[in-house]
């Protein structure tokens, strides 16, 4: 059974806010494993070694199977947890964020800290490239020259481009179809070509939408 669709980072980003002269710098990066997340956190701690706090949160796995966070010395529940809640609420998976705080001399209080760390992560997410992974089926289609135009027209209406096209005695197209629409689209292929198409399922996969 294929996985459900989920959002992922195509490109990380940063964001910064200021609250009563304290600077909150969010750095967000895609991570595939917990080891990558930990290495990223250590990298940020070295980069911002002179900061008061480097709090973090990460969500790994298409279903968010691994979730961790740290307040890094801030009062319990004021940093890591609200940061994690922003990540889980965004629906993005395989993502890690470190929010670096340079203390501005004024205590913000519990509510102020929660708000600042939340807003920093939200600001960072605005500057990230986010895309969707969805379950699909890679198919091989074989048809004649008279029918291929009808198939390509049908694909065009659905904004699906073949991965490869081979024009020999017949035409062979390799393409990825959305899993939930695969059966219906294959039926349409058969109808528009009057049955002059052979279809072979190659594999199930997750692909960028």
User: What's the whole-model pTM score?
Assistant: 0.76
pLDDT for 148-170, tens place per residue? 999 999 999 999 999 999 999 99
Judgement on whether residues 169 and 119 belong to the same structural domain of the protein = no
- State which residues form the domain around 181: 135-208
Among candidates 163, 153, 145, which has minimal Cα distance to 185? 153
> What's the CATH number where 146 sits?
3.30.70.240
Is the pLDDT assigned to residue 1 strictly greater than 70?
Answer: no
Please state the rounded mean pLDDT for residues 57-73.
94
Q: Tally Cβ neighbours within 10 Å of residue 66.
A: 15
Mean pLDDT over 90-113 rounds to 93
Q: Give the integer Cα–Cα distance in Å for 28 and 13.
A: 5
What CA–CA distance (Å, rounded) separates 202 from 142?
Answer: 13
Coil, strand, or helix at residue 153? helix
- Check residue 118 and give its pLDDT: 97
Name the domain boundary from 127, 157, 173: 127
């Amino acid at each position: 059974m294929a996985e459900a669709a989920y959002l992922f980072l195509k490109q990380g980003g940063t964001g910064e806010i200021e609250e009563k002269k304290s600077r909150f710098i969010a750095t967000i990066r895609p991570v595939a494993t917990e080891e990558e997340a930990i290495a990223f956190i250590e990298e940020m701690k070295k980069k911002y070694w002179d900061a008061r706090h480097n709090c973090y949160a990460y969500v790994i796995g298409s279903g968010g199977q691994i979730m961790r966070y740290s307040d890094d010395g801030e009062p319990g529940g004021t940093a890591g947890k609200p940061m994690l809640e922003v990540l889980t609420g965004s629906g993005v998976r395989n993502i890690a964020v470190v929010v670096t705080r340079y203390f501005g001399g004024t205590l913000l209080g519990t509510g102020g800290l929660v708000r600042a760390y939340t807003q920093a992560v939200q600001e960072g997410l605005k500057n990230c490239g986010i895309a969707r992974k969805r379950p699909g089926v890679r198919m091989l289609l074989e048809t004649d020259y008279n029918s291929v135009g009808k198939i390509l027209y049908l694909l065009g209406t659905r904004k699906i481009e073949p991965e490869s096209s081979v024009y020999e005695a017949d035409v062979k197209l390799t393409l990825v179809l959305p899993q939930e629409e695969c059966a219906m689209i294959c039926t349409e292929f058969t109808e528009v070509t009057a049955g002059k198409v052979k279809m072979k399922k190659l594999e199930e996969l997750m692909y960028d939408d």
